Amino acid sequence: MNGLALACMVLGALFFLAGTVGLLRFPDVHARLHALTKADNVGLGFLLLGLALEASSPAVAAKLFVTWCLVLLASASVSHVIARAALRRGVEPWQR
């Protein structure tokens, strides 16, 4: 197995761990959105990059890349939509 691919996938898993810890530990919905929609997507990117490096054909790698782009677009939109709805319902962003 390719060492670079392995490193990418393990790094991706660590970002997933960071996202989960953020979801569990952060104080309000805005901060949790930040953990989920950024850390998890970087983690997914690294994991898919690792898979693409050992993929059997360029077409498979391209499909993984397209999947990642779709996830990025979707989670950016979802993050904005949920944050705006939370503000309109009066969920104040957490302050120290």
Q: Which residues bind another protein (CB under 8 A)?
A: 1, 6, 9-10, 12-13, 16-17, 19-20, 23-24, 29, 32-33, 36-37, 40-41, 43-44, 47-48, 51, 54, 60, 63-64, 66-67, 70-71, 73-75, 77-78, 81-82, 85-86, 88-91
Beta carbon nearer to another protein, 89 or 96: 89
DSSP string computed for 62-91: HHHHHHHHHHHHHHHHHHHHHHHHHHHTT-
Least distance between another protein and beta carbon 5 (Å): 9
Tokens of 82: 């949920």
Region label for 57, one of left (φ > 0), alpha (ψ between -120 and 50) or beta (otherwise): beta
Beta carbon nearer to another protein, 56 or 95: 56
Least distance between another protein and beta carbon 15 (Å): 10
Q: How many residues in total does the chain contain?
A: 96
Beta carbon nearer to another protein, 88 or 96: 88
Handedness of CA 66, 70, 75, 76 (dihedral sign): positive
